[in-house]
Structure 1
């Protein structure tokens, strides 16, 4: 039920990485589990889980990323800014509904505020919960479409002035997605594909289930399967689904800007490692932008964030990461730009008290030499 594939196994360190992943996998209880590491483009992938393997290899299944979708939204915004199509300081309400009367605090909310969770908006709209609670374990988001998200934003009364406090908000990042779609006249799904997915060669990454890939099936803690996620109007905040190999390609594009290698030089290496390298040099600037620390929060400002990644220190240099969960799946994405290490992990069981998935994946990122 388990297996480890080391791409280019003749490369130094691949067998050791395979043993490390196999050991880490024993700490996670899930029907399906994939732990994938890229070290300077050399990929090692461990698959396992308590369920019997299906007809499609676990590393070729498309997993729901949940909130780990947000780095894709951040890279899209950075690219649109680099193209001059929007600015970080553009006010969202002006782009969504020019001239519409909104609360003064809403009027001041910028695209940067929305992405960095400093808009003053709550995690979800206040009127989201009445329709979501009756179907909390099956389909809480599907009944709250895009137009309702936009209306909730335009009616909002933020508790805090934008830019003064950090509060994690799926609502805010969803509004960002709708704002970018309005500003460019392009649906979010098309915009993401054109600007991020296609340039990076992410052919097994999408916003909705598609016929080209087989979807992983999520499970509750008791092992009961759960339906495929419908994010409703919260697409930008959590709708991306991808195979673990595509996740590594996405992360490798960020690592490629490290001091040890260059974007163009690593494209061929990525292809040898089993996936396409980052083929569009126009993404180099946006990729660098989303890695740059932009704010601190918490006690003594100990927590650092970039536009879209959590940013922590480690013995091997800074680590950038984001985790996510849906009704029955979990995902973790992270990389160390100074050492060329990237970690992608997926599991088909919803997070619960005592769950070790995120801690295990984070440990691989921060403790692996």
Structure 2
């Protein structure tokens, strides 16, 4: 193709070609019309790339944030509840306890991962570092942790914090994580091709190491379900994003509106805001909401723009690298995309 792409299909075809990975999918929803394009360096799998479930890693946190907003709206708990008190009611919460809001907004003072996580994870760092760190260990590590900063004073991205949040919601509701997320988020939004654990070849996309050729096993997330367990098809991920674009009429309408509300500012000049679930950046006379995720063998970008009624999903089956083009390609595409013929 020569010249500047003028249609969504042409833009997505160009985006797919810009990413060097065994499997690549770009899926766009604009004004309710979907366009999906796929490709990659590997031979096409027996099942269409567009029908496979992809690991979205840390983008799972957008599901967890929505779940928290829904539980708060239902009156089941408060975002200002101290996590330690819910996990261990007999334990004094302390003077400045980490709350549920601190945990989901990465202002809890907790490090990215527990200190005792690394010795057991290093032998499996390139494949499944979380597999042998169960939920009860996440809770124990949190209850004995000493935050590096007073909760609410500094932003520091923490898988540990969101994992603790997940275990806290389980304790507060008396409901296992998979059932809790399914009942309150996945089923109400019609996400029937979204799962929280591997389901097998022919259903799950196969990830690859940074070399782009060596397969890695499916992600096993241990006690970090709330931080990275979700795997879904491109269509389901678009459905999830479209619910954020048009929350009215959804069973989770109040929560969907809440997770679009800016909560804190960070970055140079405090130009970038964050919501309960999303990074929130300025873009071409509007704003964009997005989140990025990466596992041992896959990379994902989810984003949407209410001002242009547009949502974008980008997925690849190659471990994220510093020179990886998936995220910058998706970010630029969503940040600058304009209405055009499909």
How would you bin the TM-score normalised by the shorter chain? Answer: over 0.9
State whether structure 2 residue 177 is matched by structure 1 residue 208. Answer: no
Residue 240 of structure 1: aligned partner: 230
- Extract unaligned runs of 5+ from structure 1: 1-13, 258-262, 265-280
Give the secondary-structure state (helix, strand or coil) at the position aligned to 1:251. Answer: helix
The RMSD of aligned alpha carbons is: 1.5
Q: Is the 8 A contact 1:316 1:339 kept in 2?
A: no
Shift of 1:82: 0.7
SS in 2 for 1:140: coil
Q: Normalising to structure 2: TM-score of the pair? A: 0.94
C-alpha distance in 1 between matches for 2:55 and 2:48:
16
CA shift, 1:299, in A, is: 2.7
State the secondary structure of the residue aligned to 2:207. coil
Q: Answer yes or no: is 1:251 the counterpart of 2:241.
A: yes
Question: Residue 153 in 1 paired to residue 142 in 2?
Answer: yes
Match of 1:328 in 2: 297
- Work out whether 1:289 is the aligned partner of 2:258: yes
Shift of 1:316: 4.3
Correspondence list, 1:60-71, <5 A: 60-71=51-62
1:191 aligns with 2:161: no
- Corresponding residue of 2:331: 362
In 2, the alpha carbon distance for the partners of 1:79 and 1:235 equals: 18
The answer to whether the 8 A contact 1:74-1:308 is kept is yes
Structure with higher RCO (Cα < 8 A, 6+ apart): 2
1:154-211 deviation digits (Å, cap 9, x = unpaired): 0000111000000000000000000000000001110000000000100000111236
Pair 1:33 & 2:2 matched: no
Q: Deviations over 1:314-362 (max 9, x none)?
A: 1141100000000000111000011100000110001112111100111
Runs of at least 5 residues in structure 2 that lack an aligned partner in the other structure: none
Who is 1:226 aligned against? 216
Give the Cα separation in 1 of the matches to 2:292 and 2:318: 14
- 4+ long deviations beyond 2 Å: 210-213
Question: 1:298 Cα deviation (Å)?
Answer: 2.5
What is the TM-score normalised by the length of structure 1? 0.88
Conserved 8 A contact 2:23-2:38:
yes
Following the alignment from structure 2 to structure 1, what is the Cα–Cα distance between the partners of residues 106 and 226?
Answer: 14
For this pair of structures, how many residues does the alignment match? 333
CA distance in 2, matches of 1:113, 1:319: 23
- Is the 8 Å Cα contact of residues 55 and 229 (structure 2) preserved in structure 1? yes
